[in-house]
Amino acid sequence: MGVQMSTFPQYPDVHVLLAYFPDVAKTKLASVKENLVSRNPEYDFCFLSTANLVSLQQLQNGVYTAVRNQKQEQMKASTIYTEIMLSLSPVNNINEALKRFGVDETRNDIIVLKVVQAEQLQESEKEFSAKLESILDSKPGALTDDVLYNGFDATKFKKLFKLLGVESQEELTQGAIEGALFRGL
């Protein structure tokens, strides 16, 4: 499976392109992280670790919150991609959000997002997959709730979101969304 695209009814001019790469060499992920830290413009994407993502609903909620914050000019981060990570996090610290949701070289999978305006969609969608396949030297796969649930780091996730004793995907998802929404209150 290739690139998935989504929009939000409240923001029809914003499109989110998503690709999941299940088999990426750790050296490639280390290179991605290096390029992100050095602010290489070729890496203008949101690279997300799957370690603290348990469902697509959790991911969509974080992306929606970031897009809403951008549209309402209430972003806490300097880029939409950092805002997405912060919107997923239950901690109100950008560095901690980057650490928990950014590139994790100890894993071999990654989710990549690109937020584009409607007028940029045609060229972006074509380039998105090809560019990422080149950067990651990997092919995209299908991203489902089962993939996320079977691949998340349960120990770290439960500790981060303070969900000890919770097991079902639905309860973990709800707890993660609530933790991110109530961050800092």
Single-letter residue type at 78: S
Q: Kindly report, residue by residue over 58-71, the tens digit of the pLDDT.
A: 999 999 999 999 99
Instruction: Look at residues 79, 87, 78 and name the one whose alpha carbon lies nearest to residue 60.
Output: 87
Average pLDDT, the chain: 92
Looking at residue 46, what is its pLDDT? 97
Q: Which residue has the higher pLDDT, 120 or 143?
A: 143
Looking at residue 96, what is its pLDDT? 95
Report how far residue 90's alpha carbon sits from residue 54's, in angstroms, rounded to the nearest whole number. 14
Q: Is 179 helix (H, G, I), strand (E, B) or coil?
A: helix
Looking at residue 118, what is its pLDDT? 81
Decide if 118 contacts 7 (C-beta within 8 A): no
**Burial readout 111-147 (b: 16 or more C-beta within 10 A, e: otherwise):** bbbbbbeeeebeebbeebbebbeebbebebeebebeb
For domain 4-181, the question of CATH label 3.30.2380.10 is answered with yes
Q: Kindly report, residue by residue over 4-23, the tens digit of the pLDDT.
A: 999 999 999 999 999 999 99
Q: Where are the domains of the chain?
A: 4-181
pLDDT exceeds 90 at position 115: yes
Stretch (H or E) spanning 12: strand 11-21
> Span 173-179, mean pLDDT?
94
Looking at residue 1, what is its pLDDT? 57
Q: Kindly report, residue by residue over 121-154, the tens digit of the pLDDT.
A: 776 677 888 899 999 999 999 999 999 999 999 9
Decide if 177 contacts 61 (C-beta within 8 A): yes
pLDDT exceeds 70 at position 79: yes
Report how far residue 109's alpha carbon sits from residue 161's, in angstroms, rounded to the nearest whole number. 22
Question: Tell me, what DSSP letter sits at residue 26?
Answer: H
